[in-house]
Amino acid sequence: MSTLASSPARPASQDAVLAFAWDSSEFTATDALQSTGLTRSTTIEATDALVARGLLRELPNARLAGDYRKGRPARRFALRDDAAVVIGVDAGHEHVSVAVADLRGKQIADADARLVMDRDDAAARAAVVSDTIDRALAAAGLSRSDVLAVCAGVPAPVDRTGRSPRHPTRFWERMNPDLVDVLSWAPVVRIENDASLAAVAEGSVGAAVGCRDYIALLAGSRLGAGVVVDGHLLRGSHGGVGEMVAFDHVDGVHGAEGLGSRASDLARELVRSGKATAGLRGVALEALDARTVLGMAAQGDADARRIVDRVGLTLARIVSVLGSMFDPERVVVSGAIADGVDEVVAAARRSLPTDLDLPAPELVASTLGGEVVVIGAVAAAVASARERVLDVWGAAD
């Protein structure tokens, strides 16, 4: 969502030329008019207005650049991708990651912070988010005044106004401490569910590029789903599309616990039972995290492989239910867990039911790793910046 009101009146030609420039490297007025369908005079007028607003820069002409042969050299232009910056934030359960990027989404600087799980309140979390943003800006040699748009992802449903509904334990309110207000110093503010931003990332640069119907399944410590249908990211009345509480009632899943948590819990349970073989017994309980268990499975440890098969069966059931609800072409397992989840995905593929009414979706692992949410947040911030920049900077006279 954006903090801005509706757009002021301005020539639509400025929006058209700016959209063309954002998707181009350098261009001439002829290039722009051929793409936009505007007249030459209208194109030149809009281009000059955008230069005056600081959104486009005029490049040296072909003669000065050494490319001129004969005739009058055409004026050349390019987006000023350094005219402002955008910020992407992954405000997770246990961490905050911030990336500062230019208007094309190229990262300039970043900063991170760790949180103690379930030991922070809303105010403290908001302060950590703000401090991490300021540190990232300082690393880039910038300040808040250089920012055009901020997008933050949180592990909670988020409605169209950027706020989260009340949760029985106030978990959602703590995960999203009214960040739309905390970040209101930025001209454009967008708050989204973290799995939704994972879906944005997968569709922009990840495993769902070119796909119009897919789900990004954040599957680390908790499950969350970003759902894209017919090319549109779904939200719902309260932002609850993709919330996984329904899996409390699904046999073999029983809750929204993530794949990583399930793998580590099963490994610790096996060790405590005394039934583990030498491989798992040789690892301290506190060190039996998901990465360790999945790594051991990849190396052929028998106990770890059985755990992977059990987690894969759970994933297959999750994918089957999501497939029947949303009919996606693809489900992408995303998040930090995806770095070592290939064995689980393979086990899930083997366990997918063959008697579903709809074809089972393709199941793949993400290649974006633990940065998927912040990558999606930057992409979403760029999209919001494109949409609202002329509202922020005003239309040229």
Q: Delimit the domains of the chain by residue range.
A: 12-80, 85-206+373-392, 214-367
Mean pLDDT of 291-302: 91
C-alpha span between 332 and 313 (Å, rounded): 16
CB 376 within 8 A of CB 153: yes
Which pLDDT band, with edges at 50, 70 and 90, does 69 fall under? low
C-alpha span between 97 and 129 (Å, rounded): 9
Which pLDDT band, with edges at 50, 70 and 90, does 2 fall under? very low
CATH number 3.40.50.620 given to 85-206+373-392? no
Contacts 24+ apart (CB under 8 A), 159-163: 159/235, 159/237, 159/238, 159/239, 160/1, 160/235, 160/239, 161/1, 162/1, 162/189, 162/190, 162/191, 163/191
The residue among 67 and 87 whose pLDDT is bigger is: 87
Q: Do domains 12-80 and 85-206+373-392 have the same CATH topology?
A: no
The residue among 393 and 396 whose pLDDT is bigger is: 393
pLDDT tens digits for 349-394?
999 887 778 888 999 999 999 999 999 999 999 999 999 999 998 6
pTM of the model: 0.91
**CATH topology classification for 214-367:** Nucleotidyltransferase; domain 5 (3.30.420)
Quick one: pLDDT at residue 215? 98
pLDDT tens digits for 258-278?
898 999 999 999 999 999 988
Q: How many helices (H) and strands (E) does the chain have?
A: 14, 13
Burial level of 170, CB count in 10 A (0-12/13-18/19+)? exposed
Among candidate residues 397, 396, 389, the one with its CA nearest the CA of residue 147 = 389
Which pLDDT band, with edges at 50, 70 and 90, does 4 fall under? very low
pLDDT at 156 over 70: yes
Cα–Cα distances (Å) from 224 to 29, 125, 255, 334, in that order, read 46, 21, 11, 10
Quick one: pLDDT at residue 107? 97
C-alpha span between 46 and 133 (Å, rounded): 34
Mean pLDDT of 305-309: 94
CATH number 2.60.40.10 given to 12-80? no
Contacts 24+ apart (CB under 8 A), 43-48: 43/13, 43/17, 45/11, 45/13, 46/11, 46/13, 46/14, 46/16, 46/17, 47/17, 47/77, 48/396
The chain-wide mean pLDDT, for the chain, equals 90
Quick one: pLDDT at residue 243? 87
